[in-house]
Amino acid sequence: MDEMIKHRYEFILFFDVENGNPNGDPDAGNMPRIDPQTGLGIVTDVCIKRKVRNYIEVAKEGHAGFDIYVTEGSVLNKKQEEAYQALGLELKKDKKEDKQLAQEYMCRRFYDIRAFGAVMDTGDAKCGQVRGPVQLCFSKSIDSILQQDVTITRMASTTEKEKATENRTMGRKYIVPYGLYRLEGFVNAKLAQKTGFSCQDLDLFFQSLQLMFDHDRSAARGKMSARKLFVFKHECELGNAPASTLFDRIIATKMDTIKHPRAFNDYEIKVNRAAMPEGVELLELL
């Protein structure tokens, strides 16, 4: 049996993008998300969770207990029905005991439910709601980003008529020339024990944060890389210090000689390791 988590964790991931769109906004023509007041770039928590799910799906393919609940094109109610079928439970009865058994099955089978939680109270096979121990904030860029609009053309023609006119199909591509983003997140030991999110699962999650961009390449996203991963490990389940004070110990600043950053080396990551709160250990995983 995998060892259960007995410590609270907070973490900070620094990642960057070069000539790509890290997270397009469909309400703005898929332009890179931005805070209109500050000009800072934004990457949603849902975007990062998608990349984590994709990595787990590839890294643990065929391994029991590491299926992914939220996948592209999937019908979630059917996956809940599979839980009832596997346990021999009757659909539409909506019994509290059956719902609890089905929920435990779903947590054992699906990694992303154990990690992020899920709302599974829809359809004829209700499995309740699970509050996940791993929670992510929106990522924000260290400096304001430039939303650049690039026009592209296609050399091939779609039809003979288009070829005869010698017109080229034209399109638009939105990129950020460069941006360094900061993601903050939390791991709740008490909730982990309820969903069965184990130490093995946690190690896999931190591994996914380091490697997820290497398995998510596309022309739209350009060059994206995980740069630094810092983890605060508490001695106890409830924690030994407020998360905000720990996050304040790590700051990314632009070099004095740089006006417009275009590379990770244009920044300096400052870490205050002096007089760490008692019972808190700072781990640098990347």
Query: What's the one-letter identity of residue 59?
Result: A
**Cβ(181)–Cβ(68) under 8 Å?**
no
**Cβ(14)–Cβ(182) under 8 Å?**
yes
**Cβ atoms < 10 Å from Cβ of 144:** 12
Pick the more confident residue, 135 or 149: 135
Task: Give the tens place of pLDDT for each residue, 61-95.
Answer: 999 999 999 998 889 999 999 999 999 998 877 78
User: How many angstroms separate the first and last alpha carbons of the chain?
Assistant: 28
Sign of the torsion formed by the C-alpha atoms of 190, 191, 196 and 200: negative
Chain centroid to CA 117: how far? 13
Position 149 confidence tier, pLDDT thresholds 50, 70, 90: confident
pTM strictly above 0.85: yes
pLDDT, residue 52, reads: 97
pLDDT, residue 69, reads: 96
CA distance 100 to 127: 7
Phi, psi of 195 (to 5 degrees): -90, -10
Q: Three-state secondary structure along 32-95?
A: ECECCCCCEEEECHHHHHHHHHHHHHHHCCCCCCCECCCCCCCCHHHHHHHHHHHHCCCCCCCC
**Cβ(177)–Cβ(17) under 8 Å?**
no
Picking from 24-33, 36-45, 230-239, which range would have the lowest pLDDT averaged per residue? 24-33
CA distance 20 to 173: 9
pLDDT, residue 157, reads: 67
Mean of all residue pLDDT scores within the chain: 92
pLDDT, residue 166, reads: 65
Chain centroid to CA 225: how far? 13
